[in-house]
């Protein structure tokens, strides 16, 4: 059973945990998620397409990410998520933490912080080992292509993370 730490409004751990996807957070309580934007020197970004069996946003484009597990630091969580979903080890890549945003869903029990990272490295198709349970394809997209997917309503979190696609 996966556990997540519960944070207060100042992003400080409360010492309590919650079960994964057990949406009973009170107002002012949050869990932590991470997003890892992987870029290449040519200005393109690795994006993946969500499998159609996903309950939420099937077939949408996204960057790697997920929830930090209980006791796991944000940076360790983003390294793990990127590795799990793409097979890439970004621990020696250029870049790192960019910013945090907060999402509040009053009455839904699902409030969260999102730590956004960008890693720049030389990667090719052969470097990728996609997690087939999560992803149904990928592309190295320009920021214009990503913006076009967002305009179609098919790119997760775009409005919250669009600055991560600016060099």
Residue 67, number of CB atoms within 10 A of its CB? 19
Distance of CA 81 to the CA centre of its chain: 8
| Degrees, nearest 5: CA angle 6-9-14 | 35
Fold of 3-159: Nucleoside Triphosphate Pyrophosphohydrolase (3.90.79)
Distance in angstroms (rounded) separating the CA atoms of residues 80 and 10: 24
Per residue of the chain (167 residues), what is the pLDDT tens digit? 899 999 999 999 999 999 988 888 998 999 999 999 999 999 999 999 999 999 889 999 999 999 999 999 999 999 999 999 999 999 999 999 999 999 998 888 889 999 999 999 999 999 999 999 989 999 999 999 999 999 999 999 999 999 999 98
CB contact set of 42 (below 8 Å; sequence gap of 6+): none
How much is the pLDDT for 107? 82
């Amino acid at each position: 059973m996966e556990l997540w730490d519960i944070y207060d409004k100042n992003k400080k751990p409360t010492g309590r945990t919650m079960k994964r996807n057990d949406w009973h957070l009170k107002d002012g309580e949050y869990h932590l998620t991470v997003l890892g934007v992987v870029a290449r020197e040519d200005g393109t970004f690795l994006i993946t397409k969500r499998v159609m069996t996903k309950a939420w946003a099937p077939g949408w484009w996204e960057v790697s990410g997920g929830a930090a597990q209980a006791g796991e630091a944000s940076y360790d969580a983003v390294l793990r998520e990127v590795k799990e979903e793409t097979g890439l080890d970004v621990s020696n890549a250029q870049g790192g933490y960019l910013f945090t945003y907060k999402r509040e869903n009053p009455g839904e029990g699902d409030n969260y912080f999102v730590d956004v990272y960008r890693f720049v490295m030389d990667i090719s198709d052969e470097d990728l080992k996609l997690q087939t349970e999560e992803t149904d394809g990928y592309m190295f997209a320009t920021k214009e292509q990503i913006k076009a997917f967002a305009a179609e309503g098919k790119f997760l979190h775009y409005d919250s993370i669009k600055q991560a696609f600016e060099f």
